[in-house]
Amino acid sequence: MEYRDLKKKTKLTHIDRDGLPAMVDVSAKAVTARSATAECRVRFPAAVAAQLRKSRLKSAKGGIVETAIVAGTMAAKRTHELIPFCHPLPIDGCRIGIGWHGERELRIECTVKTAHRTGVEMEALTGATIAALTVYDMCKALSHAIVLGPAKLRGKSGGKRDFGAKD
């Protein structure tokens, strides 16, 4: 299938009428309060999880949770610099929570809020996944068998339709 035929076959929003990639024009949309929550999991080998629990998630590089929260927040604010067609947005709030889920897995959740013409799903996903990558970076000396994911959107509100979990 040719690239220009893509628009005929799908309803992708980042393809213009000529089938070329384009940023969505949101200028006619109303400004509304918007929120999105995403999560990413980090799964450790059993021995690594036990070691991390014993150290209370501290490493030679510093506090793992604290560093991941800062990195995830910074990433959410810079999503438009990483993903080509994301709009630069004023981020009104960003919260990252990190906690154990079972014996061997960390659950990272990122909620982002704005009042704008477009949503913050990509910002929430970016925040959660970069926080997870930061955990990996801080723990990789213990094992390269650490697994990231799944990463997923848990919910969003504002805009045309709400999806999933509420704040």
User: What is the percentage of the chain residues whose pLDDT exceeds 70?
Assistant: 92
Residue 72 inside a domain? The answer is: yes
pLDDT for residue 12: 77
Query: Do the bridges between strand 105-116 and strand 147-157 make them parallel or antiparallel, or are there none, so unpaired?
Result: unpaired
Supply the range of the domain harboring residue 19. 1-26
Residue 146 inside a domain? The answer is: yes
Residue 39 is inside which H or E element, if any?
strand 32-43
Q: Contact, 139 vs 146, CB < 8 A? A: yes
Over residues 20-32, the pLDDT tens digits come to 888 888 988 999 9
What gap in Å lies between CA 138 and CA 64, rounded to an integer?
7
Number of domains in the chain: 2
Lowest mean pLDDT among 1-5, 10-14, 64-68: 1-5
Residue 101 inside a domain? The answer is: yes
What does the pLDDT average to over 132-147? 97
Residue 145 inside a domain? The answer is: yes
Q: Contact, 35 vs 120, CB < 8 A? A: yes
Lowest mean pLDDT among 56-65, 68-77, 88-97, 98-107: 56-65
pLDDT exceeds 50 at position 6: no
Query: Do the bridges between strand 58-59 and strand 32-43 make them parallel or antiparallel, or are there none, so unpaired?
Result: unpaired
pTM for the complete prediction?
A: 0.89
Same domain, 138 and 80: yes
Same domain, 5 and 64: no
pLDDT for residue 14: 79
Amino acid (one-letter) located at 138 = M
Q: Which CATH number characterizes residue 148's domain?
A: 3.30.70.640
Residue of higher predicted confidence among 157 and 5: 157
Residue 166 inside a domain? The answer is: no
pLDDT for residue 13: 82
Over residues 96-126, the pLDDT tens digits come to 999 999 999 999 999 999 999 999 999 999 9
Residue 95 is inside which H or E element, if any?
strand 93-101
Same domain, 40 and 109: yes
Residue 164 inside a domain? The answer is: no
What gap in Å lies between CA 54 and CA 49, rounded to an integer?
9
Which residues participate in catalysis according to the annotation? Answer: 137
Task: With CA atoms as reference, report the closest residue to 95 among 108, 80, 82, 78.
Answer: 108
